[in-house]
A = this chain, B = another copy of it.
Amino acid sequence: MNSMLIKDNYYSEKQEKIARFAKALSNPVRVYILDYLANNLDKCCYSGDMAEELPIARSTLSEHLKELKMAGLIQGEINPPYIKYCINRENWEEAKQLFAAFFKR
């Protein structure tokens, strides 16, 4: 209980954020998805568009999208029965800055 509190505070906020964003990027499917969305700036994309390009089940794609959403890197706009996904620009910038600062040494 006590040790959990200690551990929770052990790493800096930046270190935790980098780890969180990195985790979102730690799987090739998710990197592919982000590439796909980042290259379709104005259009954004539907889950189904990507499902046709990827060799995984639609339910698996959906879980990856959920993870990216929870990490804050994408957002989904409901447009029934579709969901239009886009890069979350604010958090994308934050991640960009964090990684740039981290590696700038």
Q: Which residue of B lies closest to A11 (CB)?
A: B28
**Chain B's nearest CB lies how many Å from the CB of A85?**
15
Q: How many identical chains are in the complex? A: 2
* Residues of B contacting A100 in the complex (Cβ-Cβ under 8 angstroms): 99-100, 103
Query: A32: CB under 8 A from chain B?
Result: yes
Binary interface profile of A, 78-105, with partner B (CB < 8 Å = 1, else 0)? 0000000000000010011001101111
Q: Which residue of B lies closest to A22 (CB)?
A: B25
Question: Is chain A's binding surface mostly helix, strand, loop or mixed?
Answer: helix
* Residues of B contacting A51 in the complex (Cβ-Cβ under 8 angstroms): none
Which residues from chain A sit less than 8 Å from chain B, CB to CB?
3, 6-7, 10-11, 15-16, 18-19, 22-32, 34-35, 38-39, 41, 54-55, 92, 95-96, 99-100, 102-105
